[in-house]
Amino acid sequence: MSGEGTIAYYMRSIPQKENNCGSVDSLALNMATQLVPLPEVERLSASVVRILGGNPGKVSSLPGLCVKKATYGNLEVHPSRYAISHLRSQSTRPLNDVFAGTNTYLIGRGHQRILLDTGEGKPAWAANLKTVLSEENATVHQALLTHWHGDHVRGLNDLLTICPQATVYKHQPDEGQNDIQDGQVFSVEGATLRAFHTPGHTVDHMAFVLEEEDAIFTGDNVLGHGTAVFEDLQVYLNSLQRMQNRVSGRGYPGHGAVIENATAKIGEYIQHRQQRENEVIRVLRYGKLDVAEGETSPERKAWWTPLELVKIIYRNVPENLHLPASHGVVQVLTKLEAEGKVVHDETSERMEVGDREVYFVRSIIETLSAMTFRALLSIVEGSSYCYLEVNTSSRTL
């Protein structure tokens, strides 16, 4: 993972593989039973076909659930929706082994379509895209990218091989791409998409409103399951509020099932983040969560580290998930620090080894937010090391 122009960092004791879209959170655990199998290709409305990216990943915190895998060919009609499916080869695997991966969307009704995101560059996705385009007698006229993460953009080469005439758009574009402006409109037959800059998950993140359905493509700011990770909590909350004010219909997320009531789901996200902030403040003030207002507690102390807070707030979450969960807590502390409600002491000798790693990761995140190069978080299969690889020679990994 090292080489010219590359810096590699690691932190210990994260044995499970994570997607960079979702966070380890009690809401994610509580919502686990709501996950449903997703076919690799499915028509979601008259104007929207979802094509999974073919990039399942491990999710060790949600045991016992299943994801459906199949190859797809002929069109099968269902009473309330349509699925492009091949009925001979269906199997299920536990969700702790497989997570469905990235959603990409083919949008429109005519020959020229819009493609939203391109997956991770997996052959299965490219094959399914070709099948769908053939079945629909369609081509990709415009490709819109919600954000720069690899699981949404690495399929670009495959797309341009299949549809070389496609024009690619992304906010803060890379070479060969066109910029997406806030409020910009993209239209094809049967679909009008209006772009909105919604930073939070990433600084370049865009959401898109499908005006014909009053629906929103939420990217990775809002998922069909659990909660999302974000770079800046206050910026993220502002974007969630903006998204909530734009639609009253469905949400089409970057990962997971369709959100039938996007307004309610976004409100749930906002409420959940406020709940987390209140819990952090409560522990800082009283030393624990279950204490009456104004009551003194022997657990109260002057200084806390992020992992100490995590061990109380996430006391019902397995300990091996505490370090990943600390990301959200650090973001809350950063927001409170900006508001003058807490003081951050990076040089405290009281920090334990694990907490130093949390602060180390935080310092890297702060550096990345001020730089133009890209970062990639990945877990090495079969090991207990998490590498943060930063390519300083290119903006695209």
Q: Which residues of 306-321 are buried (b: 16+ CB within 10 A; e: fewer)?
A: bbbbbbbbbeebeeeb
Catalytic annotation on 151? yes
Catalytic residue among 25, 117, 151, 355: 151
Residue among 280, 205, 194, 267 nearest 237 (CA): 267
Query: CA Rg, the chain, in Å?
Result: 21
As a whole number of angstroms, the distance between CA 82 and CA 253 comes to: 19
Two tokens, residue 312 = 């109380």
CA dihedral 302, 305, 307, 309 (to 10 degrees): 30
Q: Are 190 and 58 in contact (CB under 8 A)?
A: no
Contact 134, 160 (CB under 8 A): no
Distance CA 251, CA 256 (A): 11
List, in sequence order, the alpha helices (H) in 226-344: 233-244, 262-286, 306-313, 322-338
Tokens of 158: 């495959």
3-class secondary structure, 226: coil
- Read off the DSSP letter of residue 312: H
**Amino acid symbol at 150:** G
**Non-local CB neighbours of 202 within 8 Å, separated by 6+ positions:** 147, 148, 149, 220, 231
Closest CA to 167 of 148, 151, 188, 149: 188
User: Residue 57 and residue 213: Cα distance in Å, rounded?
Assistant: 31
- What number of other Cβ atoms are within 10 A of residue 91's Cβ? 9
Amino acid at 202: T
Catalytic center residues: 151
